[in-house]
Structure 1
Amino acid sequence: MGCDGGTIPKRHELVKGPKKVEKVDKNAELIARWSYCALSQEKLRRPIVACELGRLYNKDAVIEYLLDKSAERPNTEVVVHIRGIKDVKELNLTDNPAWEGERANSKGDRYEDVHRAMFICPVVGLEMNGKHKFCYLHTCGCVFSERALREVKTEICHKCGDPFQEDDLVILNGSKEETERLQQRMEERRARAKLGKKSKKNKAAVSKPEEVKENPAPAKASSSEPKSLEENGEEGGSMGQGPSTSSKLSKPTAVVGSKRSIQEMPGKSETYKSLFTTHSTAKRSKDQTSNWVTHTPYHF
């Protein structure tokens, strides 16, 4: 039954207190966030991409997720905000010359430095292992430590020379507050892009009716040719009959738009009427017309 051998139980053996909260090993947490893909939980390998919230992924894992979102995968909640491949940026990382690879300590006969990272900051040489804050530029994808950007202030990238602004900086694996700020900035950026697309569509819709109105312009230009001929004819008539007919040049549109024959207009001179094919002098009788003859006659 217990306690029959003269043993005296203590209080902590009889009274059960609250369970102790299990503490997460900080080193293991840093290795999981900075050395493994946030989606597939596999080792990070090039090409490595990052989302607008600063999480690190293997590019092939993101592509597989985008191709088949219905498949059951663990940790899909970390990629809900990724709609397409344009929502991630391929990182331009700098290799660590001291990195010997995963099989460097395969025998286990020496000290293994768990904080040794594959990549470093190209400016100050800090290792990207989680102990120091790192960020990447959303414009070019180059990765730097926050200390490098704070000590060497510039408006162009240290590695590729592309210009950038403060809004283009995205902190990698930031804290909860930093992730919330990045998410708010991401939503604002997407809202601006959506408004820009709508404005472009509205401009395109407005420009189409204008193009339709401008298309009949060549037809009007072609109709202006006989108008110019008529004006020239009126000038020729005015030369023959004096200033009496020159005053009628102010209304050429009535002549062009009217369906009446020019020969029936009483105000026009005979010289002016003779310029057109409807005049009696331009008509030929059957005796005056020549027979039809082929250019290459064949006789068989």
Structure 2
Amino acid sequence: MGCDGGTIPKRHELVKGPKKVEKVDKDAELVAQWNYCALSQEILRRPIVACELGRLYNKDAVIEFLLDKSSGKPLGKAASHIKSIKNVTELRLSDNPAWGGDRGNTKGDKHDDLQRARFLCPVVGLEMNGRHRFCFLRCCGCVFSERALKEIKAEVCHTCGAAFQEDDVIVLNGTKEDVEALKGRMEERRLRAKLEKKAKKPKAAESVPKLDVSEAGPSKVKAGKSEEPSLDSREKKASPAPRSTAASGSSSGKAGKPAGAATKRSIADSAESEAYKSIFTTHSSAKRSKEESAHWVTHTSYCF
């Protein structure tokens, strides 16, 4: 086959050498990192959040990722380290006045200059297009260039004035070395938080029984003290009862009555006042003759 009609093949058409390694276009890579969400691959729109490794996401994409617990999520590896919404920080970005957006490209007759960044550093004025290193603070979410941190050294945020430490500074879309360093700091931070939570639990568990002992101890002691005289008083009250019954039985000549019957006494025979006795049904005023008592009873209000 081939060589028909006087064609002369060349060497590269006949001999197949090793395949060349495909190089990634740096400009295309920068555009993908700084203008598109690392999880949904959609254009970044406010509110924009960043994880502890310095990747940019749309907040709604992160929420959908956390709510969707099904396996086999597309591009789930990019956010596998995000366990809750607390692991991301909402960014405070400064708009670039020179960026006009894609409003003039509605008909497709205008070229979008993707190298023109939507945001810039509010301190130095550098555009956030990937050509310069940018970082954000975990404590407040403010974003500015790394040059601003180096030129203006301070322990307070240049934008909002919030205090921060070196551990709060996270580089956005850093190199592999930066990502590895941020990953180690993230693991240390989460391990420290777990240890602090475990340390708080035993303290809370110890404080509860101490309060119970302090509150319940005196009450139990008081209850024990109050119970002892009550038992003694019961024994003292119960002990003279048979003697009184025996004495009354011998004086009245009636024997064989139980001891409990002697303790019962009617209010009519007591030495209380007549006003007090009239409260009870055993009083003579409560007793009515058959002529005085009604022969019918009703519970409805219509008869009154």
Q: TM-score, normalised by structure 1?
A: 0.73
Deviation at 1:258, TM superposition (A): 9.9
Aligned to 1:23, the other structure's residue is in SS state coil
Partner of 1:142: 142
1:81-140 CA distance string (max 9 Å, x none): 111111111111111111111123556777753211111111001111100011110111
Distance 2:58 2:202 in 1: 39
Say if 1:152 and 1:292 are closer, same or farther in 2 by CA, change over 3 A. farther
Query: Which SS does the other structure have where 2:104 is aligned?
Result: coil
The equivalent of 1:168 in structure 2 is 168
Summarize the alignment of residues 30-69 of structure 1 with structure 2, pairs less than 5 Å apart.
30-69=30-69
Q: What is the CA distance between 1:212 and its match in structure 2?
A: 1.5
Letter paired with 1:178? D
Mapped pair 1:216 → 2:216: yes
- Cα 1:217–1:102 change in 2 (3 A) is same
* Residue type of the alignment partner of 1:30: L
- 1:224-239 → structure 2 map (5 Å cutoff): none
Q: Distance in 1 between matches of 2:278 and 2:154?
A: 87
Using the alignment, how far apart are the partners of 2:32 and 2:89 within structure 1? Answer: 21
Q: 1:209, CA displacement in angstroms?
A: 1.3
Q: How does 1:177-256 map to 2 (within 5 A)?
A: 177-219=177-219
Q: Give 1:220 shift.
A: 6.2
- Over 3 Å counting, the alpha-carbon distance change for 1:292 and 1:93 in structure 2 is farther
Instruction: List alignment gaps of at least 5 residues for structure 2.
Output: 237-268, 280-284, 294-304
Structure 1 position 73, deviation (Å): 3.8
| Residue 76 (structure 2) pairs with residue 76 (structure 1) | yes
CA spacing shift, 1:13–1:225, aligned 2, 3 Å: closer
- Rounded Cα–Cα distance in structure 2 between residues aligned with 1:8 and 1:183: 58
User: 1:216: how far off?
Assistant: 1.9
Change over 3 Å in CA distance of 1:108–1:4 after alignment to 2: closer
Distance (whole Å) between structure 1 residues aligned to residue 3 and residue 145 of structure 2: 62
In the alignment, the residues of structure 1 paired with residue 219 and residue 72 of structure 2 have an alpha-carbon distance, to the nearest angstrom, of 64
Aligned to 1:157: 157
C-alpha change, 1:99 and 1:8, in structure 2 (3 Å) is: closer
Report the residue type matching 1:33 in the other structure.
Q
- Write the distance in 2 (CA, Å) between the matches of 1:287 and 1:107: 111
TM-score by length of 2: 0.72
Q: Secondary structure at the match of 2:170?
A: strand
Q: CA deviation at 1:3?
A: 3.7
1:28 matched to which residue of 2?
Answer: 28
Larger radius of gyration: 2
Deviation of 1:177 after TM superposition, in Å, equals 0.9
Tell me what 1:100 maps to.
100
Q: Aligned letter for 2:183?
A: Q
For residue 271 of structure 1, what is the aligned residue in structure 2?
none
SS at match of 2:100: coil
Change over 3 Å in CA distance of 1:23–1:222 after alignment to 2: same
C-alpha contact 2:102 2:112 (8 A) present in aligned 1: no
Query: % of aligned pairs identical?
Result: 63
Match of 2:85 in 1: 85
| 3-state DSSP of counterpart to 2:103 | coil
| Structure 1 equivalent of residue 115 of structure 2 | 115
Distance 1:71 1:99 in 2: 39
Q: Which secondary structure state, in structure 2, belongs to the residue aligned with residue 216 of structure 1?
A: helix
Query: In structure 1, the residue corresponding to 2:101 is in which secondary structure?
Result: coil
Unaligned runs of 5+ in 1: 227-255, 265-285
Coordinate RMSD, CA, aligned: 3.3
Alignment size in residue pairs? 251
Q: Is the 8 A contact 2:104 2:110 kept in 1?
A: no
Q: CA deviation at 1:292?
A: 3.6
Q: Specify the SS of the correspondent of 1:215.
A: helix
1:220–1:3 distance in 2 versus 1, CA, 3 Å: closer
